[in-house]
């Protein structure tokens, strides 16, 4: 073949080759892979993974392959450089293009976790860890850093009281510091910002409001009692009386590593900053994360002169204005407990 003929052939073949390559690439990107009736697969992309590692992880999971080819697609599109780390759920039978689109959107699988009112920061860390989201020790460390609330509460030594109780959704492997910031942001959104004027008008600082609300939260789960219990505590504070709140003793025992599930008589006289049987005024800080209702109860207390309350045994309390009335209510409560135990034998 002459040189001119070879050149003519090359000129004809080159476009055909380009068309063939484009067609092959298009077919690769658009044709589904795997069985349509297979179950969705979950693939975890770790922080710092490069294109090859991501493609290999997807190939191993049977989502898309071959790894070497999909890695090139990731590099050419730049998706590997902006991909969010986390767990992805990918439907079966997706084409490489659809897989690329799914992971580029960053739709990471999240896990719901409900954090109820009245948990302290250690219990909050444990609940999140039990949901498989993050390590409990790493969470406790993050919750011990008061930086997220420094502007709200300069006295805070940790995030106790500010980890707002709510149902959250976090990705598995979420950074503990991010979790902490998210929960504090919820506290700001649900309470601190909308109730800022009410807090400013209160004789209490924000820290004191949260602290007192945490006591209210731990004392009762009955909605119509919260404002009344807040009123009792405020009345006692105004009169210089000790709050004598059992949950503060429990919190003190927990901080000292001495809590075994029981309060003993000697614990009530144990001198500890959080023991409100010994120390006057509010404890140094919150003892748990109060919910919105408890926080509002402190801002809108029901004060009728009651200075005491005692459990009735059914989750509720009786409120009394004098110590004599309170002693009779306590005696009645103890007698009812004795009778119940006797019937149970």
Q: Examine residue 321 and state whether it is found in any structural domain, yes or no.
A: no
Domain boundary among 56, 80, 108: 108
Residue 118 pLDDT class (50, 70, 90 cuts):
very high
Total number of residues shown for the chain? 345
Task: Give bridge partners of residue 111 from the DSSP assignment.
Answer: 170
Region 82-108 average pLDDT: 82
Q: Are residues 211 and 283 in the same domain?
A: yes
* pLDDT, tens digit, 9 for 90 and up, residues 204-228: 999 999 999 999 999 999 999 999 9
Domain boundary among 172, 192, 212: 192
Domain that holds residue 81: 33-108
Nearest to 161 by CA among 143, 175, 174: 143
Return the CATH number at 85: 3.30.1490.480
pLDDT the model gives residue 32: 65
* pLDDT, tens digit, 9 for 90 and up, residues 27-77: 556 566 655 544 467 888 888 889 899 889 888 888 887 888 888 888 888
Q: Examine residue 289 and state whether it is found in any structural domain, yes or no.
A: yes
Task: Give bridge partners of residue 90 from the DSSP assignment.
Answer: 41
pLDDT the model gives residue 79: 83
In the chain, what is the greatest distance between 2 CA atoms, to the nearest angstrom? 121
Question: Residue 129: is its pLDDT beyond 70?
Answer: yes
Q: How many domains is the chain partitioned into structurally?
A: 3
Domain boundary among 108, 131, 152: 108
- Of 96-105, 279-288, 301-310, least confident by mean pLDDT is 96-105
Q: Are residues 226 and 183 in the same domain?
A: no
Region 127-148 average pLDDT: 97
* pLDDT, tens digit, 9 for 90 and up, residues 151-172: 999 999 999 999 999 999 999 8
């Amino acid at each position: 073949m002459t040189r001119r003929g070879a050149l003519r052939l090359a000129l004809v073949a080159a476009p055909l080759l380009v068309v063939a390559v484009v067609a092959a690439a298009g077919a690769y990107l658009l044709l589904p892979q795997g069985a349509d009736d297979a179950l969705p697969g979950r693939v975890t992309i770790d922080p710092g993974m490069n294109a090859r590692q991501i493609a290999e992880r997807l190939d191993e999971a049977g989502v898309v392959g071959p790894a070497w080819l999909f890695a090139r697609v990731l590099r050419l599109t730049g998706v590997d450089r902006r991909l969010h780390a986390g767990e992805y759920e990918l439907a079966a039978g997706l084409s490489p293009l659809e897989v690329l689109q799914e992971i580029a959107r960053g739709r990471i699988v999240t896990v719901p976790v409900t954090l109820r009112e009245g948990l302290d920061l250690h219990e909050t860390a444990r609940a999140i860890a039990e949901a498989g989201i993050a390590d409990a020790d790493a969470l406790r460390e993050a919750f011990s850093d008061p930086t997220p609330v420094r502007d709200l509460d300069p006295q805070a030594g940790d995030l106790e009281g500010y980890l707002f109780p709510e149902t959250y959704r976090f990705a598995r492997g979420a950074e503990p510091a991010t979790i902490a910031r998210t929960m504090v942001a919820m506290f700001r959104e649900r309470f601190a910002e909308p109730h800022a004027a009410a807090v400013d008008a209160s004789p209490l600082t924000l820290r004191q409001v949260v602290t007192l609300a945490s006591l209210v939260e731990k004392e009762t789960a009955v909605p119509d009692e919260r404002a009344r219990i807040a009123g009792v505590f405020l009345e006692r504070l105004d009169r210089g009386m000790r709050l004598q709140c059992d949950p503060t003793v429990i919190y003190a025992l927990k901080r000292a590593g001495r809590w075994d599930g029981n309060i003993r008589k000697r614990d009530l006289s144990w001198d500890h900053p959080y023991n409100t049987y010994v120390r006057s005024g509010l404890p140094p800080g919150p003892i748990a994360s109060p919910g919105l209702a408890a926080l509002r109860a402190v801002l809108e207390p029901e004060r009728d002169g009651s200075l005491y309350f005692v459990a009735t045994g059914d989750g509720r309390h009786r409120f009394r204005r004098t110590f004599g009335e309170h002693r009779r209510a306590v005696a009645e409560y103890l007698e009812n407990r004795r009778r119940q135990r006797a019937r149970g034998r």
